[in-house]
A and B are shown apart, each in its own frame.
Chain A
């Protein structure tokens, strides 16, 4: 299905958020996921179904400052 991930349109054969993370080889511990501006709890990544044209944001930890 067609999804917008971090502003880029992509076509992926996925049905849930965790599928996208697996397809992109992203460790779920390292990312906060927002689907259509709603934060998805870690425990719901596998049960959150995606629809055509959903907008996903993968927010990675950025810890520097010094």
Chain B
């Protein structure tokens, strides 16, 4: 596959980079990234990945656009209120870059479909708003041996960590199980400053691109916590946990778990 004139122009600022070049751009165009959630994190992630020329972006979300989403979910515009989030997101990504194939799944990720879908992608992005789904994604990526870029946001804060199965600490190495339902506030209850979703989402997209190119050092074995109030990033070193029930030597988890769904964040 060689580039057309338009492609060379479109991706010229990428191709100029010694770490990328035409070869790297080609890798992006052959890559498949699965974005779970087309919300606060999923929108900036998918938008930038689309602009970057990722070949296939998978988007899963079962929700429709609500007016209260528009403060941060930048792929959805005012006329999209009431429409499917995946359709709304797909339109904007393809308006930006028609070369990107956007595969949409208008459903929830569950223990039944997670491994099958994830197995078809190279990198997975966690852009979900609840703990059962975060654990499900972590577990399914481990079982399918797919790198995962975890993200979380709340109020003025955000967090990112890249997980490479069998190489770096997984989400369960840190948090063994989801918290009891209702004890940790959601964005709906506690709020979120919209731009934090953009900051965390663009870091997630950066991690995905680095993983595809195999450039630099991924954000593995490090939790990156961001606080917008002070504009500070704090990096917390983490290590694989020998007692991890998913990836430790005496792991007991071999099946995906559908935890009881708490009330979802206002979407």
Residues of A within 8 A of B89 (CB): none
A-side contacts of B184, CB under 8 Å = 30, 60-61, 63
- A50 vs B236: C-alpha distance in the bound complex, in angstroms? 19
* Structural contact, B241 and A62, CB atoms closer than 8 A: no
A32, A34, A38, A64 interface centre (most CB from chain B within 10 Å): A64
CB of B152 within 8 A of chain A?
Answer: yes
- In the assembled complex, A59 has its CB within 8 A of some CB on chain B: yes
With A29-B183, A39-B241 already in contact, the answer to whether A63 and B157 are too (CB < 8 A) is: no
Q: How many residues of B contact A (CB 8 A)?
A: 44
Q: A39 to B265, Cβ gap below 8 A?
A: no
Q: Tell me which residues across on chain B come within 8 A of A57, comparing CB atoms.
A: 236
B173 at the interface (CB under 8 A from A): yes
| Contact bitstring B154-198, A, C-beta under 8 A = 1, else 0 | 100111000000000000011110011001101100101000000
A64 with B152: in contact, given A42-B176, A59-B236 (CB under 8 Å)? yes
> In the assembled complex, which residues on chain A have CB atoms less than 8 Å from the CB atom of B134?
63, 65
Q: Which partner residue on chain A sits nearest B36 by CB separation?
A: A65
Q: Which residues of B contact A27 (CB under 8 A)?
A: 183
Q: A1-25: which have CB < 8 Å to B?
A: 6-7
The residue in chain B whose Cβ has the minimal distance to the Cβ of A36 is B237
Q: Do the beta carbons of B37 and A66 come within 8 Å of each other? A: yes
Which residues of A are at the interface with B, using a C-beta cutoff of 8 A? 6-7, 27, 29-30, 32, 34, 37-39, 41-42, 57, 59-66
Cβ-closest 9 pairs across A and B: A66-B39, A62-B152, A66-B129, A64-B187, A64-B153, A65-B129, A64-B154, A61-B184, A39-B241
